[in-house]
Amino acid sequence: MPHQELRICIAEDDLDAALRLDVRRGLTSRPKHLPMRLHYDGRGSALFGELTRQPEYYQTRSERAVLRDRAADIAAFGTGPVAVVELGAGRAEKIRPVLDAFAAAGRLEAFWPFDVAEGEVRDVLAELAAAYPDVRLGGIVGDFTRHLSQLPDNGSARLVAFLGGTFGNFTGPERGRFLQDLREALRPGDRFLVGADLVKDPEVILAAYNDAAGVTAEFNRNVLHVLNLRLGADFAPAHFEHVALWDGGTDTIDMRLRAMKPMTVRIADLDLDVSFAVGEEIRTGISVKFHRGELESQLRAAGFAPAACWTDAHGYMGVFLAEAV
């Protein structure tokens, strides 16, 4: 089994420091806000898994169908050995059809899951070593908004995949910075594969963020459980209502938690008391929906030439392939 390299760009302490900074800054701001990534502890990831099985949440099923049906087309671009990197890989399930297509074409030289959770990266590497015995495997434990310069580079062409629609959680400026940093980390001929949720009937989108079973609501409230566990806060999550609004002007879902009564929350580890008026909201994340042309022009502006875009049968999710030029 080829030697596996693991690049640790972010240590547990950094994550803790980042958490404390995000929470202090977010909950002392007007409006209050908390980054969506804080939702994903073990319970949050399990809730998200449950969400992807809800009838209203089309994103995961739709993107999975595109990758299953179009993996061979994706692997048909370019020639020679390819090193695949998956940003925010998690369990590296989303990318598997693409890895299999490159392996079948005899072109899969290496695969690198890139994720903030070290345990997840280690588990995935152990799992994939059996599935891909002849493929060079490596892992990057890092934050894809800060550590793109750590992308592996052994001279082979690279395909950087960013799936699952997380690309939509960036604000406009964050998306611009991400694409610029990614372009700088790549060479001409390297490729970028990104999954993006497309603009559609707002009722369909709103339903995906307000599922009847209330899983999104519980997922959204989970960030309060995380603060209770990690920072000794005394939030009562049940006293916060889940809110997901559609802003047609910016094609964005805006998620919030609304205080259902006046309360003061103590965050012991930050020695901080946070007061909420009834109806006051915490902004807990956005999810931007894209028009194909608009996303392709953003890719061009960042130095990528759009090569292809595949969608599912409903046209709900788009998988875009672009080449660094």
Residues at the interface with ligand AVJ (CB under 6 A): 51, 59, 164-166, 168-169, 209, 216, 219, 287
Neighbours of 21 (CB within 10 A): 11
Token couple for 142? 């890092």
3-state helix, strand, coil in the chain (%, to 5): 40, 30, 30
Q: By the 8 A CB rule, do 46 and 179 touch?
A: no
Whichever of 63 and 109 has its CB closer to ligand AVJ, that residue is: 63
Nearer to ligand AVJ, 168 or 306 (CB): 168
Rg of the chain taking only CA atoms, in angstroms: 20
Would you say 112 or 209 has its CB closer to ligand AVJ?
A: 209
Cβ atoms within 10 Å of 188's Cβ, excluding its own? 10
Q: Name the minimum Å distance from CB 51 to ligand AVJ.
A: 6
58/304 with CB nearer ligand AVJ: 58
Using alpha carbons, select from 201, 204, 199, 243 the residue that is nearest to residue 221.
243
Shortest separation between residue 208's beta carbon and ligand AVJ, angstroms:
7
Q: Are 162 and 132 in contact (CB under 8 A)?
A: no
29, burial (CB in 10 Å: exposed 0-12, middle 13-18, buried 19+): exposed
Residue 51 or 224 with smaller CB distance to ligand AVJ:
51
Residue 134 CA: distances (Å) to CA of 4, 107, 111, 150: 12, 11, 11, 23
Q: Judge if the upstream peptide bond of residue 31 is cis by omega within 30 degrees of 0.
A: yes
Dist. CA 42–CA 16, nearest whole Å: 16
Judged by beta carbon, residue 287 or residue 311, the one nearer ligand AVJ is 287
Minimum CB separation of residue 145 from ligand AVJ in Å reads 14
Among residues 106 and 248, whose Cβ is nearest to ligand AVJ?
248
Least distance to ligand AVJ from the beta carbon of 197, Å? 7
What residues does 110 pair with on adjacent strands?
83, 136
Distance CA 146, CA 185 (A): 11
CB of 116 to ligand AVJ, least distance (A): 14
**Smallest separation (angstroms) from ligand AVJ to the CB of 294:** 18
CB 175 → ligand AVJ: shortest distance, Å?
13
